[in-house]
Amino acid sequence: MNQLRPSVCIDAVFEGLPAVEAIEVVRNSGITAFEFWGWWDRDLAEIESATDDTEMEISACCTKFVSLVDANLREQYLEGLEASIQAAQRLHCKTLISQVGDAVPGLSRSEQHASLVDGLREAAPMLESSGITLVIEPLNELIDHAGYYLVRSDEAFQIIDEVNCPNVKVVFDIYHQQISEGQLIANIKANIDKIAHFHAAGNPGRNELTSGELHYPSIFDAIRDCDFDGYVGLEYWPLKEASAGLREIATWFRD
């Protein structure tokens, strides 16, 4: 059984705090990995230096936010991905997170699904040659992302099967999928081979994992039982003092 590895999304947990300070607080909490959203508006040299100084790992960052469901934007998406791969390699980051874009009015879901698959197939060679894994992200449309195309994990897993590339998988956001579909543990266990990254937050509210209706110790036990060897990204907005909350959650991953 693999030990789960936590990662902290500094853009959420430490929103507004300079990256260098956030990275230091994460390290002092006992967690040795972090992630963030956009690399293109960051001082990458500063991130590199802070990562080296704290001996931290960067678990994930995002590729550029260009729609995959709109085939007219395919070239722009691939150009953004190429630049993102270069940034990820510089940062020794092995995972890029990709949103897929909002649903396109006037296009059927089958057309948009096909565009998603085709775009990821075109992306596959550059991902395989770089050793980077791209994870597509289903999001809930009821509360946070009205109009977003990819809502349910079953379609995301179907897309992964159709693309059939070991470097294209899913980031399973436990918060989003609880809202969109429930059946979290069953869906995770049935599809763990298609999941390369997790996100976690309490529901309702997207706050600490210790609040709300989700029993994270049970969910994490189920993921451990699957021998998952990726990261669990803590992507939430704290209600309490952030570093104290992280120290508490960090103990879950040492048990």
Domain CATH for 225:
3.20.20.150
Helical spans, DSSP H, in the chain = 10-13, 19-28, 44-54, 74-90, 109-130, 153-163, 174-180, 184-190, 216-225, 242-250
Residue 3 pLDDT: 82
Distances (CA, A) of 215 to 21, 70, 170, 172: 30, 37, 22, 16
What is the rounded radius of gyration, in angstroms, for the C-alpha atoms of the chain? 17
Cα–Cα nearest to 154, from 133, 182, 120, 115: 182
Classified as helix, coil or strand, 134 is: strand
**Would residue 82 show up in a list of annotated catalytic residues for this protein?**
no
Query: Among residues 46, 48, 137, 155, which one is catalytic?
Result: 137
Q: What mean pLDDT, rounded, does the chain reach?
A: 96
pTM, rounded to two decimals: 0.97
> Which residue type occupies 177?
Q
Element of type H or E holding 196: strand 195-200
Range of the domain at 165: 5-253
Catalytic residue among 35, 141, 208, 235: 235
**Overall number of domains in the chain:** 1
Question: What was the pLDDT predicted at 1?
Answer: 63
- Phi, psi of 206, rounded to the nearest 5 degrees: 60, 40
Q: Is 235 a catalytic residue?
A: yes
**pLDDT for 213-246, tens place per residue?**
999 999 999 999 999 999 999 999 999 999 998 9
For the segment 96-132, what is each residue's pLDDT rounded down to a tens digit?
999 999 999 999 999 999 999 999 999 999 999 999 9
The answer to whether the beta carbons of residues 141 and 180 sit under 8 Å apart is yes
pLDDT of residue 255 exceeding 60, the answer is no
Q: pLDDT-derived band of residue 62, with 50, 70 and 90 as boundaries?
A: very high
Between CA 107 and CA 101 the distance in angstroms is: 13
Mean pLDDT of 8-32: 96
pLDDT at 252: 87
Scan for tokens 């997170």, then name that residue. 97
Local structure of 43: helix, strand or coil: coil
